[in-house]
Amino acid sequence: MQGKPSMHHELAATVMARCDELAAISAERHGLTRPAYTPALRAAHTLVTGWMRSAGMTVYEDAAGNLVGSYPANRSAARTLIIGSHLDTVRDAGRYDGTLGVLVAIAAIEALQRQELRMAYGIDVVAFADEEGLRFGHSFTGSLALTGRLTPEVLQINDADGVSLAEALHAFGGDPEMLAQDARRADDLVGYLEIHIEQGPLLEAQDLPLGVVSAIAGASHCQLTFSGTAGHAGTVPMELRHDALAGAAQFALAVETIARTTPDLVATVGELTPHPGASNVIAGQATLSLDVRHQDDDMRAQALHELQSRAAAIAQSRGLHLTWEDRQQWATVRMSPHFREQLRQAVQAVGYTPIELPSGAGHDAGILAEFTQAGMLFVRCQGGISHHPSEAVAVEDVAAALKVVEQFLMQV
Ligand SMILES: [Zn+2]
């Protein structure tokens, strides 16, 4: 049931051109920054709405501002397969993270329409309005709302300008009051599929265009503060110092060592802020972020325990006070065995070696996987680079993804 190869390449080229077009829609003059519920996201929705309509979909926005294109089934009272990803971005983003998944889904529907194919199930292409959480510091808002699990407190979170999420959503045309009523029912769904760039180097290293996601790794975000004694850089002798920054630096190196010696563990100190932060002052306080991820939740818990004792030991040996705050954590989410199998078969049928890999990054698929059967297809990206303007994807790989999605739709 494959269409002509030329059709997939033509559609893939269109996907690439549309990614370029959307990359120009930014809330900032330089670079691509498209936070949730902004005029920039509205402009992106307007463009994507046109593309959804020309692929034969009816288009609406749900109460959470997610853009939905519906392609009907070949019979009434059918269930729905959602193919989704997100159109919001991080700051100074690449043009494929999220966007590629939405546009490949639209192209897959376009391919069905051209072949005059309808499935026994309806297909909703969903562009989530807030996945990255850039504006409100809260991730997966769109998919949490769609699955009826957005807690009311989240609506009260303010952005940097003091605008609450509820106000921003209302101004965008959504309806904070209707979120619960508008949520999907799991019984109505066939499942959820997401296509996304890998954001890592594994596919490139194996010379493969596509990979099937096995699980989305659990993560813990913590914040640590080492407190010591501020002092003059010229007058306090070394042996009398309680240098908070030196303690924090020692901990950052310990994080690296522990992660390197624990299989499959990744741990990162990405932020480190000394106070008062002057070149001639011994830091009295240093605050750092800690991001710990592992596919095995027990291994992650064990690593956190080890890191906590290491931090305490460093603080004690330096006469520092330590506070440790657990900020947010997510358990590992496995993708549905059935969808994984279907995706592996589809990859094989299209002529590639099917491999599975875990996702170190969080995705809407992780939220949906707790609601319905979910599957995820990764597309190779150059150098594994993501969340950066130099994000790059090959048009041939996009064509391969399109073929696999079409094959998956026939099988599932
Ligand atoms: Zn993404």
Q: Is 150 helix (H, G, I), strand (E, B) or coil?
A: coil
CATH number for position 385: 3.40.630.10
381 C-alpha vs ligand 1 centroid, how far in Å? 13
Provide the number of structural domains found in the chain. Answer: 2
Question: Encoding tokens for residue 339?
Answer: 């969808």
Distance 89 CA to ligand 1 centre (A): 8
Does the pLDDT value for residue 38 go beyond 60?
A: yes
CA 16 to chain centre: 20
* pLDDT above 90 (res 249): yes
Say how far apart CA 377 and CA 365 lie, in whole Å: 10
User: What is the 165 CA–ligand 1 centroid distance (Å)?
Assistant: 20
Distance 222 CA to ligand 1 centre (A): 22
Cα 213 to middle of ligand 1, angstroms: 14
21 and 141 co-located in one domain: yes
How far, in Å, from the CA of 100 to the mean position of ligand 1? 9
Is there a single domain that holds both residue 165 and residue 290?
A: no
What does the alpha-carbon distance between residue 291 and residue 302 come to, in Å, rounded to a whole number?
14
Q: Regarding beta strands 80-86 and 58-61, do their DSSP bridges make them parallel or antiparallel, or are they unpaired?
A: unpaired
Of 330, 359, 375, which residue sits at a domain end? 330
Q: pLDDT at residue 218 above 70?
A: yes
| Span from the CA of 97 to the centroid of ligand 1 (angstroms) | 5
Give the relative orientation of helices 244-261 and 297-318 as an angle to the nearest 10 degrees: 150
Residue 375's pLDDT band, with cuts at 50, 70 and 90, is very high
What one-letter code names the amino acid at 43? A
Neighbour count for residue 133 (Cβ, 10 Å): 17
Co-location of 262 and 322 in the same domain:
yes
> Is the pLDDT reported for residue 4 higher than 60?
no
State whether 131 and 152 are in the same domain. yes
Instruction: Quote the ligand 1 centre to 102 CA distance (angstroms).
Output: 10
| Interface predicted TM-score of the whole assembly (ipTM), two decimals | 0.98
pLDDT confidence of residue 6: 86
CA-to-CA distance for 107 and 95, rounded, in angstroms? 17
- Report the percentage of the chain scoring pLDDT > 90: 96
Final residue in a domain of this structure, among 286, 310, 330: 330
Distance in angstroms (rounded) separating the CA atoms of residues 86 and 66: 9
Is residue 19 over pLDDT 70? yes
The mean of the pLDDT values for the chain is 96
Is a pLDDT exceeding 90 seen at residue 255?
yes
CATH number for the domain including 232? 3.30.70.360
Decide: residue 185, CB within 10 A, 0-12 exposed, 13-18 middle, 19+ buried: exposed
What integer is the mean pLDDT of 255-272? 96
Binding-site residues for Zn(2+):
86, 97, 132, 196, 387
211 lies in the same domain as 113: yes
- Compute the distance from residue 196 Cα to the ligand 1 centre, in Å: 7
The predicted structure's pLDDT at residue 5: 59
Say yes or no: 77 and 204 in one domain: yes
| Predicted confidence (pLDDT) per residue in 146-202, tens digit | 999 999 999 999 999 999 999 999 999 999 999 999 999 999 999 999 999 999 999
Average of per-residue pLDDT across 299-318: 97
Q: Are residues 131 and 173 in the same domain?
A: yes
Cα(197) to centroid(ligand 1), Å: 8
Tell me the C-alpha distance between 338 and 218, whole Å. 21
Name the band, by pLDDT with cuts 50, 70 and 90, for residue 2: low
Cα–ligand 1 centroid distance for 35 (angstroms): 13
**315 CA from centroid of ligand 1 (Å):** 37
76 and 154 together in one domain: yes
The per-residue pLDDT for 93 is 95
Tell whether 27 and 107 lie within a shared domain: yes
CA of 362 to the centre of ligand 1 (A): 8
Asked whether the beta carbons of 270 and 250 are under 8 A apart, the reply is no
Residue 49, domain extent: 5-217+332-411
Residues 124 and 210 both lie in one domain? yes
Question: Of 313, 330, 347, which marks where a domain is finished?
Answer: 330
Annotated binding-site members:
86, 97, 132, 196, 387
Measuring CA to CA, how many Å separate 325 from each of 254, 375, 387, 390? Answer: 18, 33, 26, 34
Among 4-18, 67-81, 252-266, which stretch is predicted with the lowest mean pLDDT?
4-18
Distances (CA, A) of 262 to 23, 33, 248, 259: 38, 35, 21, 5
Cα dist. 279→225, 235, 240, 245 in Å? 20, 14, 19, 12
pLDDT of residue 137: 85
Instruction: State in Å: Cα 88 to ligand 1 middle.
Output: 9
Taking the CA of residue 16 as centre, how many other CA atoms within 13 Å lie in the half-sphere pointing to its CB? 16
User: DSSP labels for 259-302?
Assistant: HHHSTT-EEE---EEEES--TTEE-SEEEEEEEEEESSHHHHHH
| 116 and 150 within one domain | yes
Asked if 197 and 305 sit in the same domain, the reply is no
Contact between residue 364 and residue 128 where contact means Cβ atoms under 8 Å apart? yes
